[in-house]
Structure 1
């Protein structure tokens, strides 16, 4: 649904038609400008607008459109509803040395997660490990952006978060859990790092948003309708259905992971579990960094990680498979392809972004 009604804004409709012919393939720079100028117009300081824009476009580049530029209208709506302060910075509530409790102050979730990971890394240098919890935090986007920050310090990074209830438990028929994503990044010596970033549900809700805007049906095994019946109709989800936990016939595994993350990222942070009537909205976040040098020789550790990666990649393939990809490799390949060929933005999303830009008085001709 568009934030602005074109029928009630005829001048806006004419302006939109003028620029609509430029879609749907855009460069990294064009999409950065879209997000940056939009957020800056709404009061975001340069650093905040730049970071959020870069991370949204990064998600598009690596193939996760669900966490990319499609989120701009959602963030704009929260800014206008006073649910997101674009100029807010984090506040350290408790400092336990190797632990921190952080108030995200309802700013951009990306700013809260990035700033917190920076502080966490500094603590891990001293203590070997630091785990931080964030509450009052808006949507943080793609978790791998933060778990990867410690890699440059020869550290292992990890992030998990909960959020609004979207997922049914294994055997259930109502929304009780968030897709509750988890990301772990591990440094290597000569190989690219291992970067795992997964939801504990079959699919993240953002991917359903993308499917809906592209008017596509769903694969079997993704969602249930509001009565708990399997469905491939995208509208069944948005009319009260739920996402299934990761694992299919063994979905109790994804459900179990979501349950644990709901406790750690939800209850422990003070955000609340996803289906709680007292849930604070946004994301409850747990993130951490482990300094490899506090456990063993860094080069020896990285060399052994290299050996593991090569052993997995070089192992015998099952019929129908010609390669085994390490977590992080699909994203790296897609980033190279989209950097070369451009980023596809679905027509509905692009029109919505143009509407926002024109309404805010931005010269969208360079978009």
Structure 2
């Protein structure tokens, strides 16, 4: 399993995206998304996605040269048209629009129409927290998850994320989770590494519990986390993500427009003193991390802290690439005449 340093992977990703017709700035934004996911330890949303992304270009699921535009601002709301281009630039446009709406109105919300995969959701809400506001985002995805009590694919993995600012100079608290027990991309990672997944996350095509990732790709389904609780949150993401993006929440509209991302921004200063909020948030964080760990646990961590620790390691040592993924990247490099050598 090779370990590749982030700048090398970033350049390689940009060159691949350029080879399929992506302008420099959108290519950089997409590469940032993928490499930062790898650095955070979420390889499910890292360069493992590149083969599928380039297949999306080949199959006209994504238009690499398209430019997202802000088409509407009304009161506290904004609408972005992703133009079937890369989802990450469109979602960043929506994020900044929502922040602007919140500065003016106290609350800001934005949705993206015609949007391709937006990558890991955490960076968008972290950017909100970095300006002293609270960010919450969710998105739908292609059907992969069985509803509570069912066995067929009806809902997406439908991620949900939020971030809250702490003391100045301290990274925000950030939670970013799939409403499925495991993200579909993590199944790809497990399959690439030849590992099983924990019991209770997938069923095979006949509805039987399984731990083999291949059973999902043979017609099985993911399960929501926490039974009916995760299933209900996933359904909410369908209504908000797909519904507000102008898509039919009850069905999948095909390969284009597969994400319906929504972001909500809360300007803390409109509700309470920001510095007081920061101090109280910090005290709450101290109470969590200062609590006694359970047996077998070294320390109690906040959401987002494992990612920060992993980032420090991978920035120093490089990003491990499973052999299966590495072969796929080498095939792309050969096809598009791009070198991954530093």
Scaled to the shorter chain, the TM-score interval is: over 0.9
Q: What is the rounded CA distance, in whole Å, between the counterparts of 2:310 and 2:252 in structure 1? A: 40
1:152-231 aligned at under 5 Å gives the runs 152-189=130-167, 191-231=170-210
Secondary structure, in 3 states, of the residue corresponding to 2:200? Answer: coil
1:47-58 aligned at under 5 Å gives the runs 47-58=25-36
Cα deviation, 1:218-269, whole Å, max 9, x if unaligned, reads 221110001111011221110110011101xxx1111111111111111222
1:81 is matched with: 59
**Conserved 8 A contact 2:5-2:319:** yes
Of stretches 186-195 and 155-164 in structure 1, the one that deviates more from structure 2 is 186-195
**Conserved 8 A contact 2:86-2:116:** yes
Please, which of 40, 55, 63 is the counterpart of residue 18 of structure 2? Answer: 40
Superposed structure 1 runs of 4+ greater than 4 Å apart: none
Could you tell me the TM-score, scaled by structure 2's length?
0.95
Could you tell me the TM-score, scaled by structure 1's length?
0.89
Cα deviation, 1:289-314, whole Å, max 9, x if unaligned, reads 11111111111110000010001111
Residue 218 of structure 2 corresponds to residue 243 of structure 1:
no
**Conserved 8 A contact 2:289-2:299:** yes
Please, which of 63, 72, 93 is the counterpart of residue 94 of structure 1? Answer: 72
2:213 is matched with: 234
Q: What is the rounded CA distance, in whole Å, between the counterparts of 1:83 and 1:34 in structure 2? A: 22
1:307 is matched with: 283
Secondary structure, in 3 states, of the residue corresponding to 2:246? Answer: coil
Secondary structure, in 3 states, of the residue corresponding to 2:97? Answer: helix
2:238 is matched with: 262
2:40 is matched with: 62
Runs of 5+ consecutive residues of structure 2 not aligned to the other structure: none
Cα deviation, 1:41-83, whole Å, max 9, x if unaligned, reads 1111111111111110000001000000011111111112222
1:271 is matched with: 247
Number of aligned positions between the proteins: 340
Secondary structure, in 3 states, of the residue corresponding to 1:287? Answer: strand
Please, which of 89, 100, 105 is the counterpart of residue 122 of structure 1? Answer: 100
**Conserved 8 A contact 1:147-1:183:** yes
Q: What is the rounded CA distance, in whole Å, between the counterparts of 1:235 and 1:110 in structure 2? A: 29
Cα deviation, 1:316-337, whole Å, max 9, x if unaligned, reads 3333333211000010001011
Secondary structure, in 3 states, of the residue corresponding to 1:162? Answer: coil
**Conserved 8 A contact 1:189-1:302:** yes
Q: What is the rounded CA distance, in whole Å, between the counterparts of 2:301 and 2:222 in structure 1? A: 26
Residue 122 of structure 2 corresponds to residue 144 of structure 1:
yes
Shift of 1:277: 4.9
Secondary structure, in 3 states, of the residue corresponding to 2:176? Answer: strand
Q: What is the rounded CA distance, in whole Å, between the counterparts of 1:318 and 1:349 in structure 2? A: 36
Name the larger-Rg structure: 1
1:359 is matched with: 335
1:253 is matched with: 229
Alignment RMSD (CA, Å): 1.5
**Conserved 8 A contact 1:164-1:281:** no
